[in-house]
Structure 1
Amino acid sequence: MNEIVLYSTGCDYPYALQNSSWYDNERGLLSFTSDEMSGYIVQSYSSSVTEWSCHSVINDYIISKGKTTVYLFGSNQDVYICMKMTTITESSFSYYVMSDKEVNANNERVYIISSGTVVSNVDSICQTSSSLGDEEYNVMVKQGYEQDAKQYCPSVFLGNFFYTYDNGTGTSCGTGSEWDVCTNRTTMKFNYTQCATIIAYSDTEVFCVASVASSNVIYLTVFNNGIVDSVSFYRFTCMTISSSGSSLSVSLQKGKCDKGQSPTVRPTGGALATLTPYSFDGDSSMENTTTAIASIIGALIAVLLTIIIIVVLFFGYIKFKEKKKKTHPEQHMGPTGKIVHPEQHMGPTGKIVHPEQHMGPTSKIVHPEQHMEPTGKIVYLTQHMGPTGKIVYPEQQMGPTGKIVYPEQHLGLTGKIVYPEQHMGPTAYFVREFTFERIQNKLRRENESFPDSACTSVLTIDDKNEPPKLQQNSITDTAAN
């Protein structure tokens, strides 16, 4: 059951109550107009109050003032009742009466004060010197809308049971009896053909309208929408339930639950039943608050312990890593987290530089056998750098044009590299052995084509291993042709 906020204007009763009648599990039938209530009877010796006017509505508290006074202590007294309301459905409410019991008003929970006294502090009306029991709730079901007030019965009751029943005249029923909460989860049906003893003060069936779980006990209110004579059959029945395995112990009282009603003790004027399932659709054990809370707390503790262990291990690991990284007095730690020994220093890029090394302007480490040129290139001691920035190894030389010349090469007059099998003519052409043959063949073809030529040029090669010999024309003239 969830609390609701009830609103009114001036002092009118909440709109849900106005101009309607409600069955009350203790008071009978209560009727409301916009600002008046009737049917709630408070008796004080020879005087009584049966009609009430709305005094104030504050959140879920409804305060009513008796339209008549009671005579007590030698004078007239005003009577107030304070109802703390909770909605169940649009057609049903539960409430607790929030005042101490008044011994001079038949132990009713009312607030009595000298007639005419202005009550400016409603807290004085809506207070109790001790907490009310969970079972002390009242239920209201709207007349004409009874079916709309149906609720699922507690899951421990969802089954088909046989039962024994003690109504104060002896134990009856047993094997073969039938208490059915399986066919319809909102309704309890009793098979009076199997056992004729009247159950729950009903002619055939009851349906669940409200329940409160408290520790190992469930307090359940059921509604009889059949015959009501207030002798054998009553509108409401309170059931107090506990379980042992799948069996249930149930005490029953007509109307409202007794204060302190136990599921294993027959209440005065009530009955006691023990139910054993034929078939069972609900929980195999009491679905009670204690068990649920214990399970939740156990799960939370397990999760919490797991988190604590993970945190402890994490910080332990961090501490271990820090201990491993801990520097000695003669050491220090650079900004990148690297340990720097006394003979070392750390360059601006975070690299550690040993004593025999130094760091060049480009942040490269230069070893002792190296030096760094202005261009940032590292040059070993056996090397030198030519004017073009190229590194020259010991067996190489660099020509004036910046080209590297190997030992087996030489540089021609024009700065071109000449390989061992080549030589350079005066016009700076490379001449190879096969070139002389090509030139000789060319000249021979020309002589054959022009026999009257004034000059013939013949190139002969006496020995391919000897430099070529020229006849008549020079090699320069021949090349020019």
Structure 2
Amino acid sequence: MWTLRRNNVLAVIVIIIIAAPRDCDGTCTYPSALDGVFYSSHDGYITWNTTTFGQYTVTTFSQTFANLEYECHLNDGNYYIGRSASFTIYTGPFYAYICLELHRVSDNLFYYYYATTELSGANGARVKILPTSTSVTSAASICDEPTPYDDGTFSILYRNGTSISTEATTCPTALQGNYFYTLNDGTTKHCNNDSYLDVCTDTKRLIFNYTECNTTNALYSAGGQLYCLYSQNTSSTHYVILYNADASVDDSTTYQTVCMVLQKDSSGVGYATQYPKECQNTTVMNSTAVASPGASLIFTLNDSCPVATTVTPAPVEQTNTASASVIGGTLGTLIIIAAAVVIFLGVLWWIKNKKTSSKVDKADKAEDKEEIIPQGHGDINSRTLFTPTNKIPLERDNEIISQRHIRTSFDDADGTAGGEGESITNEYGEIQADEIMIVSEGTTVSNDQMTEASLPMSSEGGETPQPTEVTPPGVVNEDVVETSPRVVKEDAESAPATARTPRD
């Protein structure tokens, strides 16, 4: 039983811890950049630090509570809820709560929305006044302004002492140009014929020429110069917060910040309204109508801003650049030509080698032909020595006679060079002699008694190549059987010259 109760107690404790509000115990802080004095377009100058900001004045139930500071009570994303110190209404203690939706533009500039609905009992102030006994644990209970917010209903926080020329932003493109303008304060139309506005010399600044028209202060500026500080665009409408460059303002005829709502038509004519401090919702102001103390303006374009041109480099740099370009182009051309020449020579070399290879192949094929066309006496100057390299077996009476047992004989008297053991060929690689005798084992055999023998297998186990044509060998090996030179000579003289008809 005790264990069950203990578990229930622990569960309750966990729930309490989770549901506990993130109060000002160090867990809620404002953005660190918000530290110092800032100008608020809604409330004037406000001092900020990471835990508090203020001071504010709240009037409710016919009582005024001044110098209220809002301490960071709860933070949820961009929503920051501030809670004032307690104050007494009649006999009870109360807190005032405020909700701001903060957005950082830079460390010196923020824009924000008051995210709490207006309180009628506090003269329309965007606060909630609740008894101190009320626990505020969620942002939604304080930040109850419907979203999206009305167009233009934003305020700005701008750090005091910041250089406006540095923090200014470029004005909307629709505002850039040189214009003639007119201003209507609701009762009088000013600067109808003589006026001039320049938003080209500096596209971050509006410069009114008051020497042309000085009957009234345009955009609540005595000096006629205002900087674009922040803007929002909705469709074709521009909401611009302008910062007055006057040395001082009186918050009556001149103001530190001014809102201008601008819209251009298709012909380039700009319609705008102005309002002190900050922009208002569409029921108070739009581009053509505005409530008091606002005024309306019409901008007629005189000429557009000149288009920025590229700066031309100095003449020396142009020359150097041109020279570098010429040199680079020349080198590139030479490299391309050299590469083309190399490729061309390579092609010629390949074609030449291919032709040479083709000729060699044809010559090899011609040498492979071993046709025998015996001829008579030929011109010895056209004869070339020929030594057969293949040993071609011959056959007589079914008896194979190897080449090593063959001897040839030539008549030295016919004018040919050579003798026993030599052979002579003509330009066709054919044996040419008056008489050819083959001697084997002391026996002389004439050429017409020989026939080709079947090729034996080589000693290496492969097949001996079969010649396409048979040419009687004319080489005498060291193993040739010697016979009497006289007998060979006589036989040669008595034997008729024989010719062997080549095979087709």
The bucket for the TM-score relative to the shorter chain is: 0.5 to 0.7
What is the number of equivalent residue pairs in this alignment? 319
Unmatched tracts of structure 1, length 5 or more: 1-6, 284-407, 409-414, 445-452, 468-481
Partner of 1:46: 62
Give the conservation status (yes or no) of the 8 Å contact 2:393–2:402: no
- Secondary structure at 1:278 match in 2: strand
Return the alpha-carbon distance in structure 1 between the equivalents of residues 262 and 484 of structure 2.
144
Give the conservation status (yes or no) of the 8 Å contact 1:158–1:185: yes
Partner of 1:36: 52
**The one of 245, 262, 274 aligned to 1:252:** 274
Return the alpha-carbon distance in structure 2 between the equivalents of residues 33 and 82 of structure 1.
16
Partner of 1:162: 180
TM-score (norm 2): 0.56
Return the alpha-carbon distance in structure 1 between the equivalents of residues 25 and 204 of structure 2.
33
Partner of 2:87: 69
Partner of 1:243: 264
Displacement, 1:216?
2.3
Displacement, 1:166?
0.5
The superposition leaves residues 5-26 of structure 1 with CA deviations (integer Å, 9 ceiling, x where unpaired) of xx994444433223x2111111
Return the alpha-carbon distance in structure 1 between the equivalents of residues 105 and 276 of structure 2.
21
Q: 1:137 to 1:146 in 2, by over 3 A?
A: farther
Displacement, 1:129?
4.0
Displacement, 1:167?
1.1
- Secondary structure at 1:101 match in 2: coil
Give the conservation status (yes or no) of the 8 Å contact 1:91–1:146: no
Displacement, 1:68?
4.4
- Secondary structure at 2:74 match in 1: strand
**Superposed counterparts of 1:380-459, under 5 Å:** 426-428=401-403, 436-437=410-411, 442=419, 456-457=486-487, 458=489, 459=492
Give the conservation status (yes or no) of the 8 Å contact 2:181–2:297: yes
Bigger Cα displacement from structure 2, 213-222 vs 32-41: 32-41
Could you say what the CA RMSD is over the residues aligned between the two structures, in angstroms?
Answer: 3.7
**Superposed counterparts of 1:146-161, under 5 Å:** 146-147=163-164, 148-161=166-179
The superposition leaves residues 33-54 of structure 1 with CA deviations (integer Å, 9 ceiling, x where unpaired) of 4533223333324223431131
Q: Which has the larger radius of gyration?
A: 2
**Superposed counterparts of 1:301-380, under 5 Å:** none
Relative contact order: is structure 1 or structure 2 higher (C-alpha 8 Å, sep ≥ 6)? Answer: 2
TM-score (norm 1): 0.59
Q: 1:130 to 1:276 in 2, by over 3 A?
A: same
Return the alpha-carbon distance in structure 2 between the equivalents of residues 185 and 424 of structure 1.
121
**Superposed counterparts of 1:86-235, under 5 Å:** 86-129=103-146, 131-147=148-164, 148-196=166-214, 197-204=216-223, 205-226=225-246, 227-235=248-256
Partner of 1:274: 298
Displacement, 1:131?
3.5
Q: 1:61 to 1:454 in 2, by over 3 A?
A: closer
**The one of 275, 279, 289 aligned to 1:265:** 289
Return the alpha-carbon distance in structure 1 between the equivalents of residues 117 and 62 of structure 2.
21
Partner of 2:95: 78
Unmatched tracts of structure 2, length 5 or more: 1-23, 308-371, 373-389, 422-482
Displacement, 1:96?
0.4
Amino acid at match of 1:218: H
Give the conservation status (yes or no) of the 8 Å contact 1:240–1:262: yes
Higher fraction of helix:
2
Return the alpha-carbon distance in structure 1 between the equivalents of residues 392 and 46 of structure 2.
123
Give the conservation status (yes or no) of the 8 Å contact 2:232–2:240: yes
Return the alpha-carbon distance in structure 2 between the equivalents of residues 194 and 128 of structure 1.
46
The superposition leaves residues 248-298 of structure 1 with CA deviations (integer Å, 9 ceiling, x where unpaired) of 111111112121121011333201111122222399xxxxxxxxxxxxxxx
